[in-house]
Structure 1
Amino acid sequence: MNVEQNAAVEVPESAAQSGDGSQVLASFTSVDNSTNGKKRKLCDVEGCKSAVRSRGLCKAHGGGTRCKVDGCKRGAQGTDLCIAHGGGPRCGVPYCRSAAQSRGLCKKHGGGIRCEMEGCTKSSQGNGFCRRHGGGYKCKHPRGCRKWAQAHGLCAEHIGLLSIENRSEERQSATNADAPGVDNQAIATEAALPPNIAALCRVPGCTGFVDRKRLCRFHRVNPHCNFLAAAPNSHSL
C-alpha cells in the first residue's frame, strides 16, 4: 500500500484511543479489496456465467484443450483425451478403468457423493440421496412417465421419441446413395448427438432405439431385412 492510500484511510477515533489494531487492519483490508479486486472474464455465450478458458469460451462451450480423438468435441481432462476416451485420473481399484470421481475411486467403487441416509453406501443421484431414499429425478414427459430420467429430464425411451419427432422430415427426405437400406441422413444426424443419448435405427422407417451403434437389436442381427413388422423387439437397447 502506498503513502497516498495510507493517507486516505481514516482510523476510527475509538480504535486509536483503545489501541484496537483489528479495526485498523479491517480498514486497510477493505481498501485492498476495493482497489485490487479482479473481475473474471465470462464466456461469450449469451447467458453463460462460467469463466473463459480460451477463445472467449468456457470449457462447456468449446474453450480449453479439446480431446484429440478424431471427431470428439469434449474437453481434455488432464491429458490430451477426454474422460470417455481415457483422459483424467482412473479409479484406483485394480483392473477398473472407470474415471475417478473423488478419493481416487469411481462412483461404483465409492467415489463421488454418497447417499446421506445413515448406513447407505450408494451414490447420490440428486438432492443428496440415492434413488431408493428419494434421490434422482423422474422423466418429465407430459404423459406422466414414471421411469428415471437419464438426460435432459427425460428417460431413454422419451429421448428417443423426441428424436423421432425432431428428425421426421430429415428421415423422409434422406437418400440411400451409398448402400440399400441405410439412411445416411440419420447417420449424419446421430453423429452430432450428445454421447449416451438414444438415437434411431439407421434403417429407413424403423423407430427402434440404439445407443451409438446406429442399429436396433433386430437390425443388428438382420442388417439386410427391411420388413419392419418382423422387428417386435426393435425398440429394446
Structure 2
Amino acid sequence: MAIIKESTDRTNVSGQPEAFIRNHQYNFIKEQALALVTAHATANDAEVLSVLRHLSHEKVFAMFPALTEEQKNVLRPLTAVKDTNAAEEFLSGLRPYLIPFPTVNLDNLKRLFPKAKRLKGPNLPAMDFHALSYLSWQENTNRFLVAERNGRLQTVSGQFGASRKQGVCMICHKHSSVGLFMAKTKGANLDSYVKHGQYICADEAACNARLTTVDRLEKFLDRLER
C-alpha cells in the first residue's frame, strides 16, 4: 500500500455551482428519492408519507455537517419527490454539484504503483469521475485500487480472482457477484509478509454506484495496510 500526495484538480469553471456532494452521498440521496417513489406508490396514508419525507430529509442533511443555505436549497426538493419523473428531475439537478474523483493520468498512476512494471492503467477518457468514490481496474490477474483520504491518494494492489460467487462486498456492503482480492503486506518481522483476503465486487463500476458510505472502503484499506 502507498499513500502519496497528489494534486487534486477540482477548480470549478467560472460561473459553475460550487460542488459539495461526493459520489457516495449522491448514491445515498438517490436511495432516499427512490424510497419516496416507492412509498407514494404503495402507501395511502398522508401522515405516513409525511413522516417518511421528514426522515429522508433528516438523513440526507445529516450527511453534510456544514451546509450553506444555498446547499440546503439544492437538497430540499427531495421531499417533493413523488414519482419516477420527479426523482429523475431532482437527481439530474444534483449533477452540477457533484465532486469528481481527483484528476489522474497514466504518469500519476505509474508513480502511485512503482512496483507494477508496464502498467497500462484504466481507460481514463471513458470514465465518469463524478461517479467514483474509488478508482479501480484490472490487468491480467492484478487488481489496482486508488482512493482519496484526507487529500491524499491511497493505493492498494493485489491478486483478484473473479468468480460466480454471490456474496457481500467488503467495500459497498451490498450483495453482488464478488471475487477474492488478495494483497500481500509486511508482517511483524522485517522480512516477513502476510496475505490478506477480502471479497469485493467483481464489477468496480457497479460497486461505486452502490456505495453509500466510505466507512467500509476505509476499513478495507486499513485492513490491507497491516
Smaller-chain TM-score bracket: under 0.3
Scaled by the length of structure 2, what TM-score is found? 0.27
Q: Whose helix proportion is higher, 1 or 2?
A: 2
Scaled by the length of structure 1, what TM-score is found? 0.26
User: For the pair shown, which has the larger CA radius of gyration, 1 or 2?
Assistant: 1
Q: Whose strand proportion is higher, 1 or 2?
A: 2
